[in-house]
């Protein structure tokens, strides 16, 4: 299947180093794709069709204590049926507070994290549509379709940037 890999470079002008597979904690014999990091580098969201999901591709999340250790991810957790459906749920993009250390602590900084995703679940406009799940009480609530961004074609999750104008989060 597809695996997630990581590569680093010292500066924007330097070449990328040799890619490294994230290993068996993240990757399985199934497909893992569409990685998205939180702005503080502690959360990794990705889509996978591994066992333990709701069907199709599901979105899973992993956490690491040290955002500089590319291979220190904890066992990922499925975001559950509150987010995932029996259809394909993939292409996550996460926008949340930068000042927290573990999932759930984001509530203490007064910012409601947002998870954008693509899904071909029932009720969409067509193909993959863009949805938004928020964290109203500590965990992700059901995703709502963002009608203004969807068309009858495959609408994939847009890359997000923080308010400082940096690419990706």
Tell me the per-residue pLDDT of 62-81, one tens digit each, with 9 for 90 and over.
Answer: 999 999 999 999 999 999 99
Phi, psi of 77 (to 5 degrees): -120, 145
pLDDT in tens, 38-69: 888 999 999 999 999 998 999 999 999 999 99
pTM for the model: 0.88
Task: With beta carbons less than 8 A apart as the criterion, state whether 81 and 133 touch.
Answer: no
Instruction: Give yes or no for residue 92 having a pLDDT over 90.
Output: yes
Distances 26 to 102, 120, 123 between C-alpha atoms, Å: 18, 24, 31
């Amino acid at each position: 299947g597809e695996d997630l890999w990581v590569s680093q470079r010292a500066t924007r002008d330097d070449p990328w180093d040799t890619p490294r597979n994230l290993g068996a904690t993240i990757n399985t014999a199934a497909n893992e794709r569409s990685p998205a990091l939180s702005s503080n580098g502690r959360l990794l969201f990705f889509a996978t069709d591994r066992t333990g999901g709701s069907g199709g591709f599901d979105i899973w999340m992993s956490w690491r204590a040290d955002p500089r250790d590319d291979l220190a991810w904890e066992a990922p957790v499925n975001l559950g049926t509150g987010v995932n459906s029996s259809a394909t749920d993939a292409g996550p993009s996460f926008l949340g507070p930068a000042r927290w250390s573990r999932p759930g602590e984001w509530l203490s900084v007064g910012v409601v994290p947002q998870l954008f995703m693509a899904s071909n679940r029932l009720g969409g406009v067509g193909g993959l549509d863009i949805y938004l799940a928020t964290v109203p009480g500590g965990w992700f609530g059901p995703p709502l379709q963002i009608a203004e961004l969807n068309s009858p074609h495959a609408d994939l999750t847009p890359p997000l940037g923080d308010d400082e104008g940096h690419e990706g989060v």
